[in-house]
Amino acid sequence: MKHVLFVCGRNLQRSPTAEAIFAGHPGVETASAGLNPDAEEPLTAELVEWADLIFVMEKSQRAKIAGRFRGSLKHARVICLDIPDRFEVMDPELVRLLKAKVTPLLH
């Protein structure tokens, strides 16, 4: 089972959408979290350690994870999807982007 973590700023739109889309993907277990202090589900060291793959939505988020969770990033690969914070939950364009960018990396 591959553990896949999706991270955005506040865990309100992009990462929960990604978690929902890929939750049923074969051989994949998903979670999502946010980096901001007011995130719905704040990112923790435990989540970072749990993950095999961490998808962030923006380059700055990759840097924040590397700085804040350096000791927990032992085996997880961090991949930036370059998806801007302009979408609502389950926005069809967001779903399309996520499927196009993430699906090839899950195999």
Does residue 107 carry a pLDDT above 90?
A: no
Q: Within its chain, how far is the Cα of 55 from the centroid?
A: 4
The pLDDT > 90 percentage for the chain reads 97
Report, as an integer, the average pLDDT of 74-103.
96
**pLDDT over 90 at 74, yes or no:** no
DSSP β-bridge partners for residue 56: 7, 80
d(CA 94, CA 107): 21
Q: What is the mean pLDDT of residues 81-105?
A: 97
Q: H/E element holding 102?
A: helix 92-102
- Please name each of the domains of the chain with its CATH number: 2-106 (3.40.50.2300)
Nearest CA-CA partner of 103 in 13, 7, 27, 48: 27
- How many C-beta neighbours within 10 Å does residue 74 have? 8
Instruction: Tell me the residue length of the chain.
Output: 107
